[in-house]
Amino acid sequence: MAVTFNDTRMRDRIQLVFSLGIFALVALLPAIVRNEYWQGVLIVSMYFAMLAAAWNLLAGYTGQFSLAPAAFGMIGAYVTGLLSYHFNAPPLVGIPAAVVVSAAIGFGLGRIVLRLRGPYLALTTLSFAEICRLVISNSIEITRGDLGLSVPGIFDHRLTWYYVMLGVLVVIQLGLYFLLRAPAGLYLRAIRDDEIAAASRGVKIVLWKTNAFTLSAAISGLAGALYGHFAQFVSPELGLLSQTGIIVSMVVIGGLATLPGPIGGAFLVYVASEFLRDFGGYQLIVFALLVIIFARFFREGLWGFFRRAIERTGRRPAPAPSAAE
């Protein structure tokens, strides 16, 4: 029997299995990658994987092209950092606060901008992201501006951080999978495919767009808070537009509107960027070209190649007719 991806539930289930396969492979990597620097690279890749998964929920599954995922990661990092710096709040307070504040800002922004479409939405979220970065950069008395802010660590051992970040990433991926299987997932996909048709069937467009925006912001805030405690330092550079560009390239190269695409794309792009670091700004040119190529010729990204390979493998040749026939 041929393997088919036409059924939505089956497609999501297969994508979840591949996602778990990626996680299993990543869990085994420390047995091979013993260098602490490269273990750190993989941990930062998990941070970007969280941001990529959050942005994919909004852009891939809801069709809302935001340019603020890095900004929400920066907000999450600064919330826990500022609570620690000014009030000596422990991470167990700072991290949940980062999620709540990011979600609240995402909800407020969503209510304002999600009646917009296309380039208007993109430009508005871009403006929001730049305003946030500039406010943090210029609020020297509160945030220390471009000097950055020290954030207390949580774990002493890098491997502990490695598996904590991996565990959080797995929980996020499972949460997104069950969300997509629920009626909410159908509403989000319906909005992406045809807003007018979805509205005519009773789907509350602005409500579900706002919900997706809020959840995406909350996941990004969580990622930023964890990254801040891992790096023990946060700065306005976390919200640079180039960071959002990297996140978008991860999703497009891995596979937009797929579960494993952003995860695999995050590891591939960030690890490759470390290898290309000696080339300076040329690495951004390389990834920009890859995004253009994938967006033009390979809309399903790397996941599309795997999907077609699975379908070809699952096909069995038709039996030869017997002599009696």
What is residue 315's predicted lDDT score, i.e. its pLDDT?
Answer: 56
Residue 104 · residue 256 · CB < 8 Å: no
What is residue 298's predicted lDDT score, i.e. its pLDDT?
Answer: 75
Residue 258 · residue 19 · CB < 8 Å: no
Percent of the chain with pLDDT over 70: 94
Q: Extract the tokens encoding 253.
A: 């190269």
Q: Extract the tokens encoding 250.
A: 């991860």
Sign of the four-CA dihedral 216, 217, 221, 222:
negative
Phi, psi of 150 (to 5 degrees): -75, 140
End-to-end CA distance of the chain: give it in Å, rounded. Answer: 23
What is residue 307's predicted lDDT score, i.e. its pLDDT?
Answer: 81
The SS3 of residue 180 is helix
Whole-model pTM: value is 0.92
Q: Extract the tokens encoding 189.
A: 């996909």
What is residue 64's predicted lDDT score, i.e. its pLDDT?
Answer: 93
Instruction: Map tokens 């399903």 to a residue.
Output: 300
Can you list the positions of beta strands (E) in the chain? 149-150, 233-234
What is residue 321's predicted lDDT score, i.e. its pLDDT?
Answer: 45
Residue 155 · residue 161 · CB < 8 Å: yes
pLDDT less than 50: residues of the chain: 1-4, 316-318, 320-325
Residue type, 176: L
